[in-house]
Structure 1
Amino acid sequence: MAKDFIQVLALGDNEQEVFNKKLRSNKVLAKLATLSRTDDCEVAVESCGMSHYWRRECEKLGYQTVALPPRFVKAYLQGEKNDANDARAIAEAALRPNCQTVRLKSIEQQDLALIVNQREGFVQTITQFSNRLYQMLQGVDEELDKRLAAKAERNEDSRRLMSLPGIGPITAKAPSV
């Protein structure tokens, strides 16, 4: 489902194309409202974030709706990938018995899923940032330790103190600071 245009494919009896045209997204619902249909007429879409919106709108018009996972639709794609071929693949997949479908989400469910995904991304970003910050601080700490060790090695009092067990460059340099 594109943002500006949507390919609308309508099948009639014997699965023959009745309508197959790319429409501006703001014209889709008006066109669907004019199509003649039976009670068991179904709108099939490929599942994506926007598919829930379109399903809810189509159901307001009295259509039954179904969303199919992209991996299931891909198996029915013939020819190069374009909107018309994608629409045909969705229709083919939807006609299969026992086809996999995606449950329709309410606006509230979509909002909750968005918040959960945002939070997971935020936690991941914080973790990555914390790891980088820790690595940077560890590098600074190691560099300062090297400087202190070099200074301690050049100082007679510090060398004598470091000869005692448990005394290192940091402790050995402390009295002279």
Structure 2
Amino acid sequence: MKIVRIGLDLAKIIFEVHGVDAQDKVILKKTLRRDAVTQFFADLPPCIVGMEACSGSHYWAKVFEELGHEVRLISPQFVTPYVKSNKNDRNDAEAICEAIGRPSMRFVPAKSAEQLEIQAVHRIRQRLVSDRTRLVNQIRGLLTEHSLVIARDISKIRCALSQIADGDHMLGAMLVELVRDVRKELIELDQRIAAYTKRIRNLFQVNEMCQRIGKIEGIGPITATALVAAVGDRTCFRNGRQFAAWLGLVPKQRSSGGKSRLIGISKRGDRYLRTLLIHGARAVLRKARGKTDARSLWIERMRDRRHPNVVAVALANKNARIVWAVLSGRTEYQPAFTD
């Protein structure tokens, strides 16, 4: 019997394989070590291979596609309902095989090596920004214990640390020494973040796709490169609304009994991308007052009746749809046709 669909549970060393035929009859259950996976799939006739979208899945997707297989990556949250009885690697492989066979299932677009490299730059920069935030919050808390309250603005903390290091405050010698160490660490983090930001801007300059979506108001080099790195096969989204829903920028539903009830945004998908789009929208809101173009007038009408946070999310949603239109149609952004 011919295998038509395989569920593969990924791991570091031990992989579980579950295969079925056209009638969904189980004809393969196998445990493989990592070094035997490639040869095993090379010996199989072309079939559908399903995996959870996790660390290493995009690498294996590329390997299996080169061997002639059709690869389907699925979000782990969509696999969980299909796990029978206890959770283990073999049951996970069976659940993956079952889930990828559903006709209405949604899949994760596979990423190219270039996209993964861009994403790696963003991930490291994001981690450095988080480290800086933790460092600033820690020193603010420690200084508050000595009745020195500093505003949350990071420029304020830089100024305060410089003053303390120069001896402008009546603090103990040990605390002053600690502040000098923290100030040095903060400077190093600022320099590393600036270096990664420059690297992202260089990636933006040489990527034609990033250049196109970077023309949209509220989307700069960081957001543009992050979107291009995250969105692999744009054909996975039928329209702009589906893309915005994938980013978590559409209302969440709690509907029943024929009554539609919409609450806050779903917040699904990549939080980093959603945050960048919303922050970019906030920047557009600040500059929209007094302008007479169609987009600014739409923003002002929205702001008259809704909270600024709602307007920012609405604009981020609109920008996400425009991004999909530009990327899927490979056309240039034309502001006159977007409002």
TM-score bracket for the superposition, by shorter chain length:
0.7 to 0.9
Seq. identity, %: 32
Q: Which runs of 5+ in 2 are unaligned?
A: 1-9, 149-168, 172-339
TM-score, normalised with respect to structure 1: 0.74
Report the Cα offset of residue 140 of structure 1: 4.3
1:51 matches 2:57: yes
Distance 1:46 1:127 in 2: 32
Residue number in structure 1 paired with 2:128: 122
The residue correspondences of 1:1-177 to structure 2 (distance < 5 A) are 1-37=10-46, 41-140=47-146, 144=170
For 1:120-167, what per-residue CA distance to the aligned partner results, in whole angstroms no more than 9, with x for missing partners? 12111111101212333444465948xxxxxxxxxxxxxxxxxxxxxx
Quote how far apart the aligned CAs of 1:13 are: 2.8
Partner of 2:184 in structure 1?
none
1:148 corresponds to:
none
Shift of 1:118: 1.8
Deviation at 1:11, TM superposition (A): 1.5
Secondary structure of the corresponding residue to residue 82 of structure 2: coil
SS of 1:45's equivalent? strand
Which structure has the larger Rg?
A: 1
Specify which structure has the bigger relative contact order, considering alpha-carbon pairs within 8 angstroms and separated by 6 or more residues: 1
CA distance in 1, matches of 2:102, 2:144: 59
The CA RMSD measured in Å over matched residues stands at 1.9
Question: TM-score normalized by structure 2?
Answer: 0.40
Distance 2:43 2:16 in 1: 16
Which portions of structure 1, spanning 4 or more consecutive aligned residues, are displaced by more than 2 angstroms? 134-145
Partner of 1:161: none
CA distance in 1, matches of 2:144, 2:105: 54
Question: Partner of 2:59: helix, strand, or coil?
Answer: helix
